[in-house]
Amino acid sequence: MTASNYVIGVDIGGTHCTAALIDLSQKQIVPSTLKRVAINANGAAGDIIAAWSDCILSVKQRVNVAGICLAMPGPFDYEAGISLMQGQHKYESLYRLHIKELLGNALGVAPAVIFMDNDAACFLQGEVFSGIAGDYVNDTVIGVTLGTGLGSAVYKKGSAKSADLWRLPFKDGIAEDYLSARWFLRRFKELTGRSVQHVKELALLAETNENTRVVFHEFGANLGQFLLGVIKKENPPAIVIGGNISKAFPLFRHSLQFIINGPYPHIKIERSVLGEEALLLGAAGSYVFHRQQGSCCPLPGSKF
């Protein structure tokens, strides 16, 4: 097995950094290399870069790797490696900094070894590369991640790209107003007068609380109604649902399927099977695609 069969996949989240060694020949995470560490996203730039690099170094093992592949939240200039995140209560200290250079210096590698892509795109790329959507590698696939915000991507022609659907007009606001965790908490309080802190709490109440079941039913219908417009444009054979809220998929699956499979009975609606690992594998899969296209080849002798 050659060194080029390995990369390091990295998921940069708002509160964590997760990394693992990826075997590209098997399209799998190397067992026992997965590591997740907490990150202070409001810390100084140097501290953030140091924490990321420590996490990456901890999973390298005794092999050379062809690339370090990061799934990064946006907004971000992924090709140049410059953070554009501002006003999001995370990574403010990195604004306008050249992250590839800073991280390369911390790791002792050339910036060319470091590859970055959008986190929502990496999620979907991962599910096509090594997950539930593997049968659709030559098709178009829509992916959505449901959590504190709404992530979205469209896969076609071998590559997933962020769709930025969160800001599209929907009902009395934008899509994210109705398709995120805060909608659940607000709607439950409207129905019951009670406050809860997390969607997970609502999922645990669903078996015994009728109002909770109503909330999940409405959420599935909202998601279905919103996706109809995307389906009309992209005509996908499959949709993949991920993010923390997808753990409650059985509670909103039927209303979602009712809305979508009525007019589009052929579309498969799948829940992510890789979970958070989809981002690591997707960052690696995106790196492979771009390397094949000649748009992210490491410099000779610059392997990590």
Q: Which of 103, 140, 111, 158 is nearest to 285 (CA)?
A: 158
The pLDDT profile of the chain, 304 residues, written as one tens digit per residue, is 344 689 999 999 989 999 999 999 999 999 899 999 999 999 999 999 999 999 999 998 888 899 999 999 999 999 999 999 998 889 999 999 999 999 999 999 999 999 999 999 999 999 999 999 999 999 999 999 999 889 999 999 899 999 999 999 999 999 999 999 999 999 999 999 999 999 999 999 999 999 999 999 999 999 999 999 999 999 999 999 999 999 999 999 999 999 999 999 999 999 999 998 999 999 999 999 988 887 776 655 556 7
Pairing of strands 238-242, 268-271: parallel
Q: DSSP alpha helices (H): ranges in the chain?
A: 45-58, 99-107, 119-130, 175-178, 181-192, 199-205, 210-234, 249-261, 277-292
CA distance 280 to 296: 17
Query: What is residue 78's three-state secondary structure?
Result: coil
Residue identified by tokens 């019951």 is 192
Torsion angle in degrees (nearest 10) through CA of 131, 134, 138, 142: -40
What domains lie within the chain, and their CATH numbers?
Answer: 3-122+277-292 (3.30.420.40), 136-271 (3.30.420.40)
Pairing of strands 68-72, 6-12: parallel
Q: Which residues contact 23 (CB under 8 A, 6 or more apart)?
A: 5, 6, 29, 30
Pairing of strands 28-29, 16-23: antiparallel
- The model's pTM is 0.93
